[in-house]
Structure 1
Amino acid sequence: MYILIFFVAHWFLSLFFQTFYLHRYASHKMFTTNKFTERVFHFLTFIFQGSSYLNPRAYAIMHREHHAYSDTEKDPHSPHFFRDVFQMMWYTSKSYRQHARRLKEPEARFAGNTPEWPLIDVIGSTIASRLVFMGLYTWFYIEFATHWWMFLLLPIHFIMGPLHGAIVNWCGHKYGYSNFDNGDKSKNSTPFDFFMLGELFQNNHHRHPNNANFGAKWFELDPVYPVMKAMHWIRLIRIRKAYLA
């Protein structure tokens, strides 16, 4: 029981900060907040992504490239140019590392206005940090696992962040339905996207990339948006007025 609770908690907490902080804030600036709160979100992203921590600046640049070149040869992670999801993940990881290590100069329109915390970004990207988190996950499983098959979940903990991205990029541009003709192959993979916290409403998102609510139809529930509205009401963040409904 403890293992399953830990797995579900890690899955959704890691995913929440990826969609809330890396995607909706770092990449699109769907809301504003003060510097202290930004640092809190940044630190929590590091803690909950753990061994698969993604640098917000690198993530934002790559995601902006994805929107500009959606499903073309310049898209850093379109599933339509790869044989399988593993090949796409490998190519995406190479592109990410170039931005994270500043080995590749992005186009001016993709750079800037991204949250950076050099201390956390450097530590979180080191092999030592990733190994420490992996060791902590492994220790928890040794302590609380009651069946051998539970250990099969460990590799998912190790690559949680990139795995979430791969699911969204592969499924969200291959499977599902479309509400809008965006000139790309983005799809809404499911009308009830709790499993990926609204990230699989890719067709809606590509139509309105700065809208904090990824749902468009009445039945399309984006689980993160009500949380953001609550944060807005208590003045923890300020959602762009045009998209506050």
Structure 2
Amino acid sequence: MQLRYAFRLYPDAGQRTALARAFGCARVVFNDAVRAREDARKAEQPFPTAGQLSRKQKGSKNRAKARLKVARAHAKVSDARREFHHQLSTKLISENQGIAVEDLSVAGLARTKLAKSVHDAGWSAFISMLAYKAERYGRTLIRIGRFTPTSQTCSACGAVDGPKPLNVREWTCTACGSVHDRDHNAAINVKTAAGLAASACGALVRPGVTPAQREETGSHGVPTGSSAA
């Protein structure tokens, strides 16, 4: 006789984060494999095999070579992401006296269809760089709480229009009729909330006479969910 048991696990906060990271990585690999097969189909080439390591016999030299090849590929992606973070964080710190960021729920976003983009962005690592560089150069970094309705509030009239799914990128305020780009509207609300927080604690968020440091080069663009002043 075969018996079947059903279990339900209740992971703690650390375990939930680890599981979300693992599921996100699995989704990234799956999406990359699908894209590689689609590219091969369009180019009328044979489909690439899925065996970058899994098809190699454990303990063999070929498996060791494949493992090193996979590790180098991951390291290359990681280095490119870290370099971009360093360049952009240095640019923002150099050019602004105050920076406001939104405390996003990365673990929650990693459980959505945006998991690949969330993990690729490396938001937590980017914020960590901003934090220590702001302290080093005497800049002000303000974090806006994740429960602040930046995507729900009309930046024109202040009316809270309610939650919206992530696929809604543009919406019209039911109170004043203003049409908003979701990210641009949220950035304005982040900046407003940062100004209120700075006024409450007496922090300086407007450019002053102190010259900005320009020791490193930077790239262009500001990640979604951040605002510089």
In the superposition, the TM-score normalised over structure 2's length comes to 0.24
Larger helix share, 1 or 2? 1
Structure with the greater alpha carbon radius of gyration? 2
Larger strand share, 1 or 2? 2
In the superposition, the TM-score normalised over structure 1's length comes to 0.23
